[in-house]
């Protein structure tokens, strides 16, 4: 059964060749055990299907997307949504970050996104899920 057909609560689409993004996924995995969040690299067939449905670029990934409850969250809203899904203490930090105007949060997000390869590099291969966490990734 593909991830599009299986029941999932929330999906995080990320750039699988971005080292910063991959490390972010590992961080979320480590701090959200048992939470209803699954992942898909944007370069995977599943990720490409979601990007197509969302009308997002299929090749250049300037933001990640979180699909939760039928809504799509991108940029800083996506990051904050992931933090909320991770539970405490991350959800508390997300609620504090919401006090910062979205335009300012998105400017900061865009600056990091533009420089993410320079900051942490690019992977030659697409992200592979860690052993024991494969069930949280869409094919």
What domains are there in the chain, each with its CATH number? 10-117 (3.40.30)
Average pLDDT of every residue of the chain: 84
The whole-model pTM stands at: 0.81
Non-local (6+) Cβ contacts of 103 within 8 A are none
Per-residue pLDDT tens over the stretch 47-91? 899 889 888 888 877 778 999 988 999 999 999 999 998 988 999
Estimate to the nearest angstrom the gap between the alpha carbon of 27 and the chain centroid: 11
Cβ atoms of 41 and 47 within 8 Å: the answer is yes
């Amino acid at each position: 059964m593909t991830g599009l057909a299986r029941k999932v609560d929330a999906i995080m689409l990320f750039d699988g060749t971005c080292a910063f993004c991959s490390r972010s996924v590992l961080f979320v995995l480590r701090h959200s055990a048992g939470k209803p969040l699954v992942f898909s690299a944007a370069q995977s067939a599943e990720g490409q299907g979601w990007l197509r449905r969302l009308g997002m670029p299929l090749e250049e990934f300037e933001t990640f997307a979180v699909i939760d409850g039928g809504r799509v969250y991108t940029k800083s809203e996506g990051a904050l949504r992931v933090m909320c899904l991770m539970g405490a203490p991350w959800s508390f930090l997300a609620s504090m970050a919401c006090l910062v105007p979205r335009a300012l949060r998105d400017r900061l997000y865009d600056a990091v996104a533009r420089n993410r390869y320079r900051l942490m590099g690019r992977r030659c291969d697409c992200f592979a899920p860690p052993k024991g966490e494969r069930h949280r990734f869409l094919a």
